[in-house]
Structure 1
């Protein structure tokens, strides 16, 4: 057998006890980080079978379908992907959710597999195992979503030829359920909370639909008193950071810790202008006077940071603190117990029943797409659809000469 040209690969015999038991061939597909050649191997019982396998391998190599990732496991790749995501300036909680999904679901079930040998069936089996472990459809869907993102990057880096997770459909999920207060419950709750120092925060949530973090991140400089509006440009959130070394909770090392930070709003659409009614402006003025009284009472010990809904020391109010007060006040008012985030849905419900167009509701809530607003609150628009139903009699003149 003559010498093979560069790029054609090499073929050799496989022997056992001096007898030829098969053939194998290899071709260089790239180099690793140390500059060493990375080769792919083809085995067969005959020399012709190996030659055919090498021809297929070389064809795929020329088409960019073969990459030097033979020894890279899914686990090792996901670590590299997460390191890359850290440079993308993601929200800390978003990055943390990616890490959690990788650590809790993707690595345990797929981590040992070779990246290049991952198949759609492997992904399907992962979802089945998560389902059998009692995980919710939301967890399954999110795990698949994270895997798709990671493998999409692997394709761009030319580590794999295709994103095998794209061939897997996410599990069917039921629409998220939320509860809203009736108008009478809103009135009663606001009446009961009127004496509370953060009454205006609850009022603002129910009249504007602002998120909890947007309310707590609001600063006095964000309010335009003359134009009767405010600018949503801050979001106060609890961020899950890495666990503190040496800290133990319930006998186990902590994997995360919490801290509060001021960020930009959730999306570009969340950075919005919200029109304020005269009643809402009055509530904010009353709150401002109450805050001035607190400042005079506490004196020099108070550190002003410009927050509208600051704590007694002038610093940002912790989200969990506001939620704790909210739960106490709900119990005191005797209204139905709903999540604080459901105050946002309640505000949307009130806007819709008032007859505001979907686009106006979407803008006020900070939704990126009005179609999302229509999907989320479709059931609330059912009543308006019924009111829009007409009959011929509605178009005919009545006795006084005007349409019915």
Structure 2
């Protein structure tokens, strides 16, 4: 039998310590259709933690905002968790991604389950069906991360007695879609197709630095050192939802910080690209003089002719027009892949490539560019071969 505490505070309900060391508390929240008392249980690592949960529940009951945990659906809880617990901590674009995953992948499948009835097999069936439908492994992993975090909060709030996501297994990743890298000949065709383009320096810089689209369009002149030949990535530009009914538009262009500290990085650029940027700056100053008072100076390296941020979709329209002219079948991200591949082919250390790309872990870099590794390993073996040849030749001369 659990040992009851000698005394409890006012309105705390019953709080006791279980044999497993966990504290448990309960309060009466009403009666069922048969007149029997309905109780809600709360759990915590300390007595104080349980007491605080009970106090909040009693306050919610008193103010009329209490929701019976037995009636809370996963859909209701995911929306509560997203807006009340994550809105202030996530980057706007990440919040938007979370909302999309919840509304498009989780709620339609298992959103109507009551939290108390949710079982590991419900989540497992969701993961398996998404895998079979061809959804990417990274998206399935994001589904799991969201569910695990939301259910963890539900556990802390005393809404569930365990986090059922911990009893699931993510399906194995299927064969990755092979990344597209331009050959040297294709790279030359792409550069040739940039002739006469106003934003030619932007595409050249992307190919020579591996920056992402949002990072390229958010680059400002104070992050470009033409003397040293470097650029510093500090932010990205993305169109996000506003979630504000008072604003005239549902979306807006926003600058945001990188997800991780590794995203902030300084990248050396080739002298030829430095010259391109110098010429580009001269033309930009001419555009500014021509536009006069209509020019909006945001100090952006790549902006519209009026100085405003470039809409990413418009930039991509220009990109696809260019690759059509070059007779290429690639997406913009292929420029980043090509940059990294050229570095690895030139025997640059993967750790350096990781830092230049802004990857948090070197495993990410190695996984993405595993196709280059066999050639690097072969080159390393050939370096050792020279050593062995010298030894063998020396031994032969002595015999």
TM over 0.5: yes
Contact kept? 2:233, 2:264, Cα under 8 Å: yes
Query: 1:397 Cα deviation (Å)?
Result: 6.4
Specify the SS of the correspondent of 2:251.
Answer: strand
Distance 1:369 1:209 in 2: 17
Change in Cα spacing, 1:319 to 1:58, as seen in structure 2 (3 Å) is closer
Q: Which moves more between the two structures, 268-277 or 85-94?
A: 85-94
Aligned to 1:294: 287
Aligned to 1:282: 275
Contact kept? 1:96, 1:241, Cα under 8 Å: no
Over residues 43-94 of structure 1, what are the superposed CA-to-partner deviations in whole Å (9 max), with x where a residue is unaligned?
A: xxxxxxxxxxx9xx99999999999833322222212211224443312221
Change in Cα spacing, 1:394 to 1:259, as seen in structure 2 (3 Å) is farther
Change in Cα spacing, 1:374 to 1:137, as seen in structure 2 (3 Å) is closer
Give the number of aligned pairs: 354
Change in Cα spacing, 1:215 to 1:63, as seen in structure 2 (3 Å) is closer
Contact kept? 1:235, 1:265, Cα under 8 Å: yes
Aligned to 2:187: 186
Aligned to 2:172: 172
Aligned to 1:324: 317
Contact kept? 1:307, 1:314, Cα under 8 Å: yes
- 5+ unaligned residues in a row in structure 1: which ranges? 1-5, 9-27, 42-53, 248-255
Distance 1:61 1:156 in 2: 7
Aligned to 2:119: 119
Q: In structure 1, which of residues 345, 358, 367 is the aligned counterpart of residue 359 of structure 2?
A: 367
Over residues 109-134 of structure 1, what are the superposed CA-to-partner deviations in whole Å (9 max), with x where a residue is unaligned?
A: 323322123111122233355567x4
Would you say 1:270 and 2:263 are equivalent positions? yes
Aligned to 1:234: 235
Would you say 1:201 and 2:202 are equivalent positions? yes
Distance 2:45 2:344 in 1: 59
* Bigger Rg over Cα: 1
User: What's the TM-score once normalised by structure 2's chain length?
Assistant: 0.77
Over residues 14-34 of structure 1, what are the superposed CA-to-partner deviations in whole Å (9 max), with x where a residue is unaligned?
A: xxxxxxxxxxxxxx9534xxx
Contact kept? 1:205, 1:343, Cα under 8 Å: yes
Distance 1:118 1:58 in 2: 17
Contact kept? 2:119, 2:164, Cα under 8 Å: yes
Q: Which moves more between the two structures, 157-166 or 62-71?
A: 62-71
Aligned to 1:384: 376
Contact kept? 1:30, 1:38, Cα under 8 Å: no
Contact kept? 2:211, 2:357, Cα under 8 Å: yes
Change in Cα spacing, 1:145 to 1:233, as seen in structure 2 (3 Å) is same
Specify the SS of the correspondent of 1:195.
Answer: coil
Would you say 1:351 and 2:352 are equivalent positions? no
Query: 1:393 Cα deviation (Å)?
Result: 4.0
Distance 2:86 2:225 in 1: 36
Q: Which moves more between the two structures, 77-86 or 362-371?
A: 77-86
Specify the SS of the correspondent of 1:308.
Answer: coil
Distance 2:347 2:353 in 1: 10
Specify the SS of the correspondent of 2:240.
Answer: strand
Specify the SS of the correspondent of 2:148.
Answer: helix
Query: 1:145 Cα deviation (Å)?
Result: 2.8
Aligned to 2:221: 220
Aligned to 1:30: 26
Q: Which moves more between the two structures, 264-273 or 201-210?
A: 264-273
Specify the SS of the correspondent of 2:238.
Answer: strand
Query: 1:382 Cα deviation (Å)?
Result: 1.0
Query: 1:373 Cα deviation (Å)?
Result: 0.8
Distance 1:108 1:257 in 2: 24
Distance 2:243 2:43 in 1: 42
Task: Trace 1:67-146 onto structure 2 (pairs within 5 A).
Answer: 69-128=69-128, 130=130, 134=133, 136-138=135-137, 139-146=139-146
Query: 1:314 Cα deviation (Å)?
Result: 0.9
User: What's the TM-score once normalised by structure 1's chain length?
Assistant: 0.76
Query: 1:294 Cα deviation (Å)?
Result: 1.8
Over residues 351-401 of structure 1, what are the superposed CA-to-partner deviations in whole Å (9 max), with x where a residue is unaligned?
A: 1111110111111111111121111111112101112224474342658x9
Contact kept? 2:120, 2:167, Cα under 8 Å: yes
Query: 1:188 Cα deviation (Å)?
Result: 2.5
